[in-house]
Amino acid sequence: MTQIVLVEDNEMNRDMLTRRLIRRGYTVVCAHDGLEALTVVAREQPEVVLMDMGLPVLDGWEATRRLKADPATAQIPIIALTAHALSTDRDAALAAGCNDYETKPIDMERLVERIEALRTPRA
Amino acid sequence: MHKLLERQLRRTVGADEAAWPPGLRALVDLVDQAYASHEDDRALIERSLELSSLELSAKNDALARARDEAESANRSKSSFLANMSHEMRTPLNAIIGYSELLIEEADQLQPEEFAPELEKIRTAGRHLLNLINDVLDLSKIEAGRMDVTIETVDVRRCVDAVVTLLAGAASQRRNELVFQCDLNVLTVQADAGKLRQALVNLVGNAVKFTQEGRITIAARRARVADGASAGVARWAERDPDAPCVAIDVRDNGIGIPAEVQPRLFAPFSQADSSTSRRFGGTGLGLSLSRRFLHMMDGDITLVSAAGQGSTFTIWLHESDTTWVGGAVSPVAAAVVPPRSEDRA
């Protein structure tokens, strides 16, 4: 079963992060934009969502709001991944409903800690 | 006579002026004069107070304006810095991420399997270098330390060099890249290096935002009045009949929606925030290109609509040498060789 849904529109970032997560033993499914994220997260019911914020079609903030408003996905923790690094950007991500926030360039060890702190393994 | 003085005189010495002691009339006149001159002084002082209060409020207004300007400059510096931070973090994410990935996977990878990831790291590194170069150029312009050397530049040779440089990128996206110019000799007053940089940027953008399409660079002779009516604000007061040159860079790509056109030439204002990721670019190219053209007393204008392609036009003063019957020895046209680095 899927542990992580990674929502990322940049092919390089998606490829790189997916490979590094898989190496650490996670199962990963990707979505390419905010709208696709809604369907994929609802279908996969992952333990945690990694959400880029500057996404096409539907941006990460709006996708997060919709996931958190839907009872079927509201309890799934979301970690924002973004190159916007100001404290106001962090506040905006948390205000949209993200449970945590990690800036790019990604510090892999810290990201794994955040994932482990939030994920709720299902039997 | 002053009212209060008159009342007191009537009460103490009597209403009949003829019965007043000798000399009292003269004294009363003196007192009256003193009152009158005091009154004049008071009016003067009041007027001067009024003036200085006007002056003060004018100064206050000027100060408030200066404060507003400083605050707005400060805000735009802050947002520029926030954008810079974002734009630098994006390629750094690829550089650091792929390096760490290669280190993690090093023991399982064959030597040839390193190449694709190294290529990504190199691309991101180059992008970062372009970004830094653009930011340095922009800060040089803002500090007034960017020099331009205006000379006679041969448009054909300049455009040819740009077409040669970008032909590969154009054919990769299956775009046709065409240069049209009906005139044998067409020269402009420009800084050759900066004109070339602006052209590389415009043609590079056209290539990026067009797929399986056609990009046409068309140079033509025009009048200053044409430029002014196309939107070259700095030419509004100039001699409308003076000769100028328009270089159109036309594509039939995705076009630019009307609502984003006004801020298109501001730094980091790519029409869509996800645009830079999909199409690359530092977000400073158009801003820099227009600043360069302003330094040559020219401009860049834009005609576009979403889905209908874009035409960016470079406007420059024509060089006098071509005005002699249009047949001037090419020797008169000094062309600086193309610069080696590419800063699209």
Contacts A59 to B, Cβ<8 Å: 273
- Gap between the Cα atoms of A32 and B81, Å rounded: 28
Give the residue from chain A lying closest to B275, CA to CA. A56
Pick the closest to residue B190 from B296, B286, B336 (CA basis). B296
Chain A touched by B108 (CB under 8 Å): no
B343 against A109, higher pLDDT: A109
Tokens of B241: 């009949």
Confidence class for position B340, pLDDT limits 50, 70, 90? very low
Give the mean pLDDT of A5-22.
Answer: 92
Q: Give contacts of B 74-103 with A, CB under 8 A.
A: 82, 85-87, 89-90, 92-98, 100-101
Position B326 pLDDT exceeds 50: no
Contacts B86 to A, Cβ<8 Å: 83-85
Is this complex scored with an ipTM above 0.90? Answer: no
pTM, whole model, 2 decimals?
A: 0.68
On average, the pLDDT of chain B sits at: 85
Q: What is the pLDDT of residue B269?
A: 66
Distance from CA of A95 to the nearest CA of B (A): 19
State pLDDT tens for residues B93-130.
999 999 999 999 888 888 888 999 999 999 899 989 98
Burial B333-344 (b: 16+ CB within 10 A, else e): bebbebeeeebb
State pLDDT tens for residues B147-189.
899 999 999 999 999 999 999 999 999 999 999 988 888 999 9
- Judged by CB atoms closer than 8 Å, whether chains meet at B272 and A85 is answered as no
Pick the closest to residue B102 from A35, A3, A16, A87 (CA basis). A16
- Gap between the Cα atoms of A68 and A97, Å rounded: 6
Give the residue from chain A lying closest to B97, CA to CA. A16
Contacts B105 to A, Cβ<8 Å: 19, 23
Q: Give contacts of A 59-88 with B, CB under 8 A.
A: 59, 83-86
Backbone angles phi and psi of B2, in degrees to 5? -65, 135
State pLDDT tens for residues B46-60.
999 999 999 999 999
Instruction: Decide: helix, strand or coil at residue B310.
Output: strand
Position A93 pLDDT exceeds 50: yes
Alpha carbon distance, N-terminus to C-terminus of chain B: 88
State pLDDT tens for residues B268-322.
765 444 444 444 567 788 999 999 999 999 999 999 988 888 999 999 999 875 4
Contacts B97 to A, Cβ<8 Å: 13, 16-17, 20, 105-106
Chain B touched by A119 (CB under 8 Å): no
- Judged by CB atoms closer than 8 Å, whether chains meet at A105 and B89 is answered as yes
